[in-house]
């Protein structure tokens, strides 16, 4: 398996990354490795609206594997078969994500660059392959979701004072609110007094969650990282 590209976005820590692709419309850039910076490899890609990314769980490498894992969705105490989950801890640390293709820049100083939306990858994640998404065969609206969240489940109402939100760069405000609404906490954490911290785009956002309401209490911005 060869790494063909890496993704670049504002997710510098695992905590806060959407649980699945497509849940939050945040943008990311896909930059190809030098060996694969040939615009011809992208010929015809502009005709597709969505892509599949096949990538590496680069922060979850292990020497051994377990046949069962404890999904946060089930409270972190119930074990399920690893192949019935999307846990990063699996025999081969491979991830699969569906993203929306926003733009193709065939000629940049870094070679061809793709702008995508809805990726659930950590900044710098290695990508093994990119394939077009075909709705007529890849989409199954009638499919069962098992114990995973359904559309809109697991979300919370976000409260953020205007004075705090004003500190956030304008282009990141809506993205941040959408990410927080996904409730970044592990499913087994319910302490209403606990203060959580999430890193995103050079910001550290501190918040509490109680009775379905996520309240932002502090936003610290690193001016060198936030753009």
pLDDT of the residue at 52: 98
What would the pLDDT profile of 155-189 be if each residue is shown by its tens digit? 899 999 999 999 999 989 999 999 999 998 877 77
Q: Does residue 169 share a domain with residue 130? A: no
Work out the average pLDDT over 111-124: 96
In a domain, 88, yes or no: no
How many angstroms separate the CA atoms of 203 and 168, rounded?
Answer: 8
Regarding whether 166 and 129 lie in a shared domain, the answer is no
pLDDT surpasses 90 at 149: no
Q: Are 129 and 196 in a shared domain? A: no
Boundary of a domain, candidates 108, 138, 168: 138
Say yes or no: 47 and 105 in one domain.
Answer: yes
Q: Average model confidence (pLDDT) for the chain?
A: 91
Taking alpha carbons only, the member of 154, 175, 160 closest to residue 214 is: 160
Angstrom distances, CA of residue 191 to CA of 129, 161, 169, 188: 40, 22, 30, 9
What was the pLDDT predicted at 26?
92
CATH of the domain at 161: 3.30.2310.20
Query: Is 212 a member of any domain?
Result: yes
Q: Which long-range contacts (CB under 8 A, 24 or more apart) does 85-88 make?
A: 86/20, 88/57, 88/59, 88/60
- Whether residue 201 contacts residue 10, with contact meaning beta carbons closer than 8 Å, is answered with yes
pTM above 0.85, yes or no: yes
Q: Which token pair is 95?
A: 């991830």
Q: What percent of the chain has pLDDT over 90?
A: 70
Residue 30 lies in a domain: yes
Show the domain range for 97: 5-58+93-138
101: CATH: 2.40.30.70
Of the listed ranges 74-83, 101-110, 161-170, 209-218, the least confidently predicted one is 74-83
- Closest C-alpha to 61, from 40, 84, 90: 90
**In the chain, what is the straight-line distance between the N-terminal and C-terminal CA atoms, in Å?**
34
What is the domain count for the chain? 2
Whether pLDDT at 78 is above 60: yes
Please report, rounded to a whole number, the percentage of residues in the chain having pLDDT higher than 70: 96
Is residue 70 over pLDDT 70?
A: yes
Residue 100 reports pLDDT greater than 80: yes
Q: How many CB atoms lie within 10 A of CB 11?
A: 25
pLDDT greater than 90 at residue 204: yes
Give yes or no for a contact between 130 and 30, defined as CB atoms under 8 angstroms apart. Answer: yes
């Amino acid at each position: 398996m060869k790494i063909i590209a890496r993704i670049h976005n504002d997710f510098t820590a695992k905590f806060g990354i959407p649980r699945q692709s497509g849940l939050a419309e945040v943008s990311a850039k896909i930059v190809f490795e030098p060996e694969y910076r040939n615009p011809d490899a992208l010929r015809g890609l502009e005709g597709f609206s969505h892509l599949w990314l096949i990538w590496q769980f680069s922060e979850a490498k292990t020497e051994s594997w377990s046949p069962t894992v404890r999904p946060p969705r089930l409270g972190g105490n119930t074990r399920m078969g690893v192949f019935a989950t999307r846990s990063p801890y699996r025999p081969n640390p491979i991830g699969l994500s569906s993203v929306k293709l926003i733009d193709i820049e065939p000629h940049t100083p870094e070679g061809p660059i793709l702008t995508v939306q809805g990726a659930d990858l950590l900044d710098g994640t290695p990508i093994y392959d990119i394939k077009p998404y075909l709705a007529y065969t890849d989409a199954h609206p009638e499919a069962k979701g098992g114990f995973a969240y359904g559309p809109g489940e697991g979300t919370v109402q976000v409260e953020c004072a205007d004075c705090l939100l004003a500190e956030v760069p304008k282009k990141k405000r809506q993205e941040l609110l959408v990410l927080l609404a996904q409730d970044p906490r592990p499913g087994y954490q319910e302490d209403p007094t606990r203060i959580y911290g999430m890193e995103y785009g050079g910001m550290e956002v501190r918040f509490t969650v109680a009775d379905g309401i996520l309240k932002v209490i502090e936003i610290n911005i690193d001016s060198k990282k936030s753009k």
